[in-house]
Every structure is written in C-alpha cells, then in structure tokens.
C-alpha cells in the first residue's frame, strides 16, 4: 500500500526580478540563508575568472568557442550577452536537480524570466518586486553610496522599462518593508512547493485511500 512517507517532490525554478534598488539581491540572500532545499542557479559565462571565484560555485567558465558550441547544442535554458560577456543557464544541471527535488533561485531580468518560462513553464515560479514609489527607489539607490550620478540616472531610466513587464510574472510583491516583503516571497515559495502537480506519487496514494 502506498505510504505518505513515500511521496517525493519535483523541484522548482524560483525567479526573482526587480529594478535595481528594489531589494531583489537582499531578498535572494535571505532566502538562500534559510532554505536548505534552495540553491542559486550557477551560470555558464565567457567572462574571465576573477580572483577568489570557484569553478562550479560562482560560474562555469568557458571560452567563447566553448560557449558557442553549447548554444549550438541547445544546452541552455536561457542566455544573454551583458557588457560584452555571454551568460547562460545550463539545461542539464537544472533538469537533473529538479528531478531530485532541488529548487533553484534565479536572479534574472524580464528577458531571462521570459526565456525560462517559454522553455520550462511547468517548473517556473516567477516573482517581481516593485518599489513603493519611484522616489523611494531613487532614495534607496542614493543611500547605497556606491554609484555616481550618471549610474544612478541610468538605473532610474531602466527601472521604468523593467517595471513595464510586471504583468508577465506569476506574483508581484511591493517592497515597502524588507522583512514583510521577505515573508511574502518565502510564503510564495512554500505554497508553490505544495502544489499538487509537484507531488510525485500523490495519484497512487489517493487511489489507495479510496479503495
């Protein structure tokens, strides 16, 4: 007879997107610190390896030719070029992990989220973080003290375009308060893990109960 202890779960791809300064990186770090079954997706890149970076932990480092070969093999779930370097999400590593019940966190923009959704929709859960106002977003960017005026203005200009894609996401959370926002995002993750379609063996278990 099927036992509830035998039920396993397929993992999910948890996407976090937001304009710069809306809290995405902070929320991601907090999630990774408390969720043992959640790990950051490791991208393939053509960017040179920096001091202190570890192959397979920070990135999978490839030459441009190696990267092009992977693209030709359709080995990526999503890929993009950023500041002259190429980045891609390796399909095999993610799919193998999902099958084992591992969840992956993706810190990507709306274009990356769109590619992931198109290629693996059943496994994707996407969350977009909004600032409470554009004034508050600018205040947060300035409070960092790390960017000059030109960079801040550039981030603000891009923010409007990024926000325009909010309705392509499964969930939208307004980050008025960091802890409240984190609690909401974590609640979404926990609820999505419990979805019926992710519970393997549930059909057989229910049928046994009805006999």
Which tens digit of pLDDT belongs to each residue from 144-186?
A: 767 778 888 888 888 989 999 999 999 999 999 999 999 999 9
- Quick one: which of 76, 91, 142, 87 has its CA closest to 109? 87
Percent of the chain scoring above 90 in pLDDT: 65
Could you give the maximum distance between any two Cα atoms of the chain, in Å?
A: 69
**Is 2 within the bounds of a domain?**
no
Q: Would you state the pLDDT for residue 5?
A: 64
How confident is the prediction for the chain on average, in pLDDT? 91
Q: What is the DSSP letter of 35?
A: -
Q: What angle do CA 168, 174, 180 make, to 5 degrees?
A: 130
* Within-domain flag for 116: yes
DSSP H or E run through 81: strand 76-82
Domain count, the chain: 1
Residue 96 counted as domain residue: yes
Q: Has residue 133 been placed in a domain?
A: yes
Q: What is the pLDDT of residues 56-115, one digit of tens each?
A: 888 999 999 999 999 999 999 998 887 789 999 999 999 999 999 999 999 888 988 999
| Short-list 22, 40, 39, 36, CA closest to 182 | 22
Count of other CB atoms within 10 angstroms of residue 25? 13
Q: Is residue 1 part of a domain?
A: no
How high is the pLDDT of residue 152? Answer: 85
Domain range for 179 is: 7-210
In a domain, 105, yes or no: yes
Is 104 part of any domain? yes
* pLDDT of 37: 94
21 or 162: which leads in pLDDT = 162
Distance, CA of 38 to CA of 116 (rounded, Å): 17
Residue 91's CATH number? 3.40.50.300
């Amino acid at each position: 007879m099927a036992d509830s202890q035998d039920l396993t779960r397929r993992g999910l791809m948890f996407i976090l997107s937001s304009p710069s300064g809306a809290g995405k990186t902070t929320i991601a770090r907090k999630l990774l610190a408390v969720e043992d079954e959640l790990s950051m997706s490791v991208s393939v890149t053509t960017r040179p390896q920096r001091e202190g970076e570890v192959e397979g932990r920070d990135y999978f480092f490839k030459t441009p030719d190696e990267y092009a070969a992977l693209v030709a093999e359709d080995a990526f779930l999503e890929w993009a070029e950023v500041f002259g370097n190429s980045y891609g999400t390796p399909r095999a590593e993610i799919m193998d992990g999902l099958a084992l019940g591992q969840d992956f966190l993706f810190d990507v923009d709306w274009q990356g989220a769109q590619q992931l959704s198109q290629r693996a929709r059943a496994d994707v859960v996407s969350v977009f973080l909004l600032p409470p106002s554009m004034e508050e977003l600018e205040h947060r960017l300035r409070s960092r003290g790390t960017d000059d005026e030109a960079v801040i203005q550039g981030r603000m200009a891009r923010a409007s375009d990024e926000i325009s894609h909010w309705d392509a996401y499964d969930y939208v959370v307004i980050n008025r308060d960091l802890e409240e926002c984190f609690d909401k995002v974590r609640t979404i993750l926990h609820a999505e893990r419990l979805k019926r379609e992710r519970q393997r063996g549930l059909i057989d278990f229910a049928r046994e109960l009805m006999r």
